[in-house]
Structure 1
Amino acid sequence: MELKKTAVAGTMESSDIMVTVEPRESGGIVLELTSSVMKQYGRRIERVIRETAAELGVEHALICAVDKGALDCTVRARVSAAIFRAAERENITWEVGK
């Protein structure tokens, strides 16, 4: 997926994560992660962010995430929303196919 602009999703509230996605020309995915639970879950959060970006076809981006104890499903949702906004995608099917 081609990223066209910088976009943000999420909040700085407890149990949430604020994700900023910025397009890059090359260099793969660069991730800057800050978390209140970094020692316990930092590697897991990073893996969820990278997997979500890969599933959406993002090859080059700067992803900055400030985590306040978000669950995996929230991390995926925020990363997805930021990527779709950065790609200027409007018609998104959020339903899971049957």
Structure 2
Amino acid sequence: MRACVLLIGLASLAVGLAACTAPVDPRHLDVALTRSGAGYDVSGRYGPGWSEGDVRGEVERRCRAQSLNLRRFVSLQYAEGRGTGFSAYCGRSG
């Protein structure tokens, strides 16, 4: 009896985990700017429909909208169900 309950519990957990790791929408792009001194720290994630160059260009556009320049851009590791992460910094040239 206990073994059956344990197996049912494990099966439910496996179904729940499978639902959490659904593929990320290829068109997904999430960008967050956070004030940091005279500039902005930028972080986010993107789906497989975006290239790193496309994302970098979008971040550069958002930096210019703040009258700043993209000073650093780093791609992070791809995570199943979440996409590829990145971090960047927008600041003044100089």
Q: TM-score, normalised by structure 2?
A: 0.35
Q: TM-score, normalised by structure 1?
A: 0.34
- The structure with the larger Rg is 2
- Relative contact order (alpha carbons < 8 A, sep ≥ 6): 1 or 2 greater? 1
